[in-house]
Copies of this chain bind each other. A is one copy, B any other.
Amino acid sequence: MSVRDPPPPSMGRWRSQRPPPPMAFQQFEQVLSEITITPLAVPAADAADEADVAAVCALYDVDAASAAAVVRMSWEGTSDWDEDETSAGTTVLVVVEDEPGAAAGRLLRSVGYTEAVPAVGRWTMEPGGAFVLVTPYETAAAVERIWFATRDVRMRVSEIRTGGGRGVLTASFSTEIRRLS
């Protein structure tokens, strides 16, 4: 796969790990989660899905019918450090293009990663195929970069920056491998 090919589809089930498999000592810090991304129709067939889509679209004054994509993303995580500690969540994502076909726009999220409130971020699809999402929160900003290394391997670096963007509070790297079964 060349870096100039269009990115493969993100729909499906993904296994997320940190760091990527070949690195030494992964057993000490491997974090696994499973991510499932499912496209939603507009209006959504399921009443709960439709309620979430309608709520977040109303909050940000977006017509769901004009969105480039509407998906539900769910995740469930486990930590090797504490098997009792799991995290799980689900969110509706609405991808809005600045204009039809634009490589940038807004991404509405019914629940944010770092704060359990709805959020809106700016996304850009870089020519090389990296998806960059900047989401400002009240006291910080999340910057995520996601790109495909192969059709079935996505890489993600998530940074949390201070609200003004002048400092980096934390950053993490994970690899997401498509589950084919």
Residues of B with C-beta under 8 A to A150: 161, 165-168
CA of A19 to CA of B24 in the docked complex: distance in angstroms? 13
A130 to B3, CA, bound (A): 13
A1 touches B (CB below 8 Å): yes
> Is A64's beta carbon under 8 Å from chain B?
no
- Shortest C-beta distance, A32 to chain B (Å), equals 15
Question: How many copies are assembled?
Answer: 2
Q: Does A180 contact B (CB under 8 A)?
A: no
Q: Are B130 and A127 in contact (CB under 8 A)?
A: no
Q: Once the chains are docked, how many angstroms separate the CA of A17 from the CA of B26?
A: 17
B145 touching A168 by the CB < 8 A rule? no
**CB of A137 closer than 8 Å to a CB of B:** no
Minimum CB distance partner of A5 in chain B = B165
A173 near B3 with CB under 8 A, answer no
Cβ-defined partner of A23 (8 Å) among B126, B134, B165, B172 = B172
A171 within 8 A of B: yes
- A155 interface residue, CB < 8 Å from B? yes
**Which residues from chain A sit less than 8 Å from chain B, CB to CB?**
1-3, 19-20, 22-25, 28-29, 124, 126-128, 130, 132, 134, 143, 145, 147, 149-150, 153, 155, 157, 159, 161, 165-173, 175
Q: List 5 A-B contacts (CB under 8 A).
A: A1-B166, A2-B165, A3-B143, A20-B168, A126-B130
The CA of A172 and the CA of B147, in the complex, are separated in Å by 14
Partner of A22, one of B23, B130, B143, B170: B170
Q: Which of B2, B25, B149 contacts A171 (CB 8 A)?
A: B149
CB contacts (< 8 Å) of A132 on chain B: these are: 3, 128, 130
Which 8 A-B residue pairings sit nearest by Cβ, starting from the closest?
Answer: A173-B173, A22-B170, A126-B126, A20-B171, A149-B168, A128-B132, A1-B165, A153-B168
